Chain A
Amino acid sequence: MLFSCGRNEKKESVVVQSIQQTGKLVTAEYSLSKMVKASDNKTWYKIGDRRILISAEATVKAGIDLQTLGEDNVDISDEAIRVQLPLPQIFSVSIPPEKIRVLYQDVSFFRSQFSAAEREDLLRQAERQVRTVADSLGILQTAQKNAELFIRNLLQQGGYQTVTIEFKK
């Protein structure tokens, strides 16, 4: 029983839940890093502590939703065009698995290592923190500036001498 051969069994099942049509012009990407620090020493009946330090990187993408742009948002007169773009929004927050590294673990004798489920729970908290602060990092302003530049260049290339870009309030 102790010396039987090792063997890996792997299988997957996939369920495609939904497919959604969009029209998002993604104009800014922020790469972020975050240290995830936690101490497990609050449960009164558990003897000994556990501490963990994880480094994670996140990618936040923002831009404008081009789907909502219609003829009502465009005003053309001769060689001048005025476009009213939708306000930028954050489209995605991603924490790629390969950018997650456990840097340090300190586990007392009477305690077990942090399980995968426990580590995932800590990372979920980190993800929530990233989502909460994402707005305050200035990504929406960057996305707006880049969207304006992209659309302006495109329309100037199209022959418009005067291009005015506004964002819906």
Chain B
Amino acid sequence: MRWIRNILVILLLAIVAWWLLGKMDILPSLGDIFKPKEVVIDQTPVVIRQIKPLAQLATITAYTEVTADSSVRTTVGERLRDVINPFSMDVAMNRELIVVGKVVIHAGVDLEKLTPQQLFISKDSVSIQLPAAEILEVIVNPSGTDIFLEEGEWSNAAIVNMKTRIRQKAVAEAQANGILFQAEERAREVLLNFFRAAGFTKINFTKKRLG
């Protein structure tokens, strides 16, 4: 019996020593040994497909967070798979997905749409008819996407669909909060300051249109 006790003591001491050395970062902790390695993408080149000149005056940026969910009844095939799978403890009736997306919306005026007829400059005065304010860009990047809950398999198309919904919802909310009106007001302010700095004293914005 004594030899069993000795083995247990040695084993206990070994575990304590491993734990202590793990805490001191000398040995990997037991948790780290069974931690899956991060999948790292290869360094691949970034290829330029198109270069486009723009003249957009972005005047309002809205930061929004949208949570969207989707629940889909599992198919007969998926349930059968659960039934015959020895590792599956139950039969899933639904596939669930909850995505939280951070959306960045840039709104402003596209000065490329400014025709010579809409901009009249004479001596010290400027008369400008601004194009209607519009949503210039809506960004839902992977860095701003959190897959909060994922039960069952969800294809890339389903995620794209979900992000599109998130984007649409964010835009609708921003528009409901008057982002276009604010963008146009701010565009006037920025251009007023620019023309004033450029020596024009009479700056007149004609006709106001909202998109």
Contact = CB atoms under 8 A, between A and B. Distances in A.
A15 B52 contact: no
A125 to B, nearest CB: 5
Given A16-B174, A43-B37, A92-B106, A21 B59 contact: yes
Interface of A: 1-40, 42-43, 45-46, 54, 57-59, 61, 63, 66-67, 69-71, 73-74, 76, 81, 83, 91-98, 100-102, 113, 115-130, 133, 137, 142, 146, 150, 155, 157-159
Nearest to B156: A102
Nearest to B147: A117
Contacts of A97: 140, 159-160, 163-164, 167
Contact residues of B: prevailing secondary structure? mixed
Contacts of A121: 39
Interface magnitude class on chain B: 35 or more
B20 interface: no
Contacts of B145: 120
Contacts of B141: 93-95, 127
Given A30-B50, A36-B41, A157-B119, A13 B67 contact: yes
Contacts of A2: 76, 79-80, 83, 91
Contacts of B26: none
Interface of B: 34, 36-37, 39-73, 75-76, 79-80, 83, 91, 93, 97, 104, 106, 108, 111, 116, 119, 121-123, 126, 136-137, 139-143, 145, 147, 150, 153-154, 156, 158-160, 163-167, 169-170, 173-174, 177, 179, 182, 186, 189-190, 193-194, 196-200
A25 B14 CA distance: 65
A71 B9 CA distance: 81
Contacts of A6: 72-73, 75
A36 B67 CA distance: 26
* 8 A-B pairs with least C-beta separation: A123-B142, A42-B37, A97-B163, A6-B73, A23-B190, A117-B147, A31-B50, A26-B56
A120 B39 CA distance: 12
B66 A71 contact: no
Interface centre among B58, B60, B116, B140 (most CB of A within 10 A): B58
